[in-house]
Amino acid sequence: MKKPVDLNAAYQPKDFAFRDMEKVKEIISRYPQGKQRSATMPLLDLAQRQVGEDGAQAKPPYGGWIPRAAMDKIAEIVDVPPVKVYEVATFYSMYNLEPVGKYLVQMCTTTPCMLCGSGDVVKTCESHLGIHTGETTRDGMFTLMEVECLGACVNAPMVQINDDYFEDLTPESMKQILSDLKEGREVSVGPQNGRVASMSESGTTTLVEQADRLGIKKAG
């Protein structure tokens, strides 16, 4: 569930300006004349990504979120009252409306992930990062959240970190991913147990000719 948004919090910057106005124009041009308000969602995403790019260079770092000033700017651009943009931004969980860590760790705890061990993975995150769910580490690197199904149940348990999915997790692989991200090492996204995409863990059982061509093992 989303937390209430504090539009007057001390962390809210006074101003916001899009860096890439060409991109803003391109987004608006995707929609018919007079329907520029349809650009609200991609503009919110653009604002969140811009803040995240700035945050990745900052010390301490922070992740992508959407300040009130950005929502007001979007309202001005698409010519709607600010509340119309607040309504959209507060409805969808993909928009962060308060500062988050450089890495936003969204752990799925819905039934399939829960049955496959997400509880232990959450506990591992909390003990490894030294925070509880809903909190951000003091160094600004990680925010931990529990979320509902992210649509990768076949590879449960899984977590979304920024734009990437990490699947087939164990407490050990989760700990390794967090350590690698903290140290700036490369991480491998997707399944962590060697399976290819969402195929059967014992190997492919269909489309075997295609699998042969790709060198993917067959169930046997």
**Of 90 and 110, which has the nearer Cβ to ligand FES?**
110
Residue 166 beta carbon to ligand FES: minimum distance, rounded to whole angstroms: 11
- Alpha helices of the chain — where are they, by DSSP H? 21-28, 40-57, 68-78, 82-91, 111-115, 118-129, 171-183, 208-214
**Of 118 and 137, which has the nearer Cβ to ligand FES?**
118
Residue 117 beta carbon to ligand FES: minimum distance, rounded to whole angstroms: 11
Residues facing residue 161 across a β-bridge: 105, 164
The widest CA-to-CA distance across the chain, in whole angstroms, is 62
Residue 49 beta carbon to ligand FES: minimum distance, rounded to whole angstroms: 24
Cα 115 to Cα 110, 143, 158, 197: the distances in Å are 9, 24, 12, 20
Measured CA angle at 199 (ends 197, 205), to 5 deg: 150
Structure tokens at 179: 């350590």
**Of 46 and 158, which has the nearer Cβ to ligand FES?**
158
**Of 61 and 112, which has the nearer Cβ to ligand FES?**
112
Residue 159 beta carbon to ligand FES: minimum distance, rounded to whole angstroms: 9
Note the residues at the interface with ligand FES (CB under 6 A): 108, 110, 112-113, 149-153, 156, 158
